Amino acid sequence: MQLKNNFTERTRELFDFCYECWVCGKNHWNCLHHILGRVSNSPLNAAPVNNLDCHIGKGFNFEDNKRLLQKTYKYLIRVGYRLTDKDRAFMKKYAQYYKNGNINS
């Protein structure tokens, strides 16, 4: 079965030099989590987390998702990622998560 909105190999490569689980801060992340679910495979919707300890069975609320989305954005810009039109559309659709985060799309 093919899942929709899997992350591309290029997206996975963007996080090759990230060593921190974005939920707990430990050096043990082992998957890219879709922050807002499988609504988009944009790198902006990805967060490196430890699947068992920090993702499965954990509930993420609006503030958790907002923090993860903003952290992803800042990380991607820091590593030189250039936003695509698809990324900008994602940010526009989910603008409420980027407010008060010192983020300019």
Spatial distance between the Cα atoms of 75 and 7, rounded to a whole number of angstroms: 17
pLDDT in tens, 16-53: 999 999 999 999 999 999 999 999 999 999 999 999 89
Phi, then psi, of 28 in degrees rounded to 5: -150, 25
**pLDDT greater than 70 at residue 5:** no
Spatial distance between the Cα atoms of 38 and 41, rounded to a whole number of angstroms: 7
pTM for the whole structure: 0.90
| Mean pLDDT (whole number) for 51-58 | 85
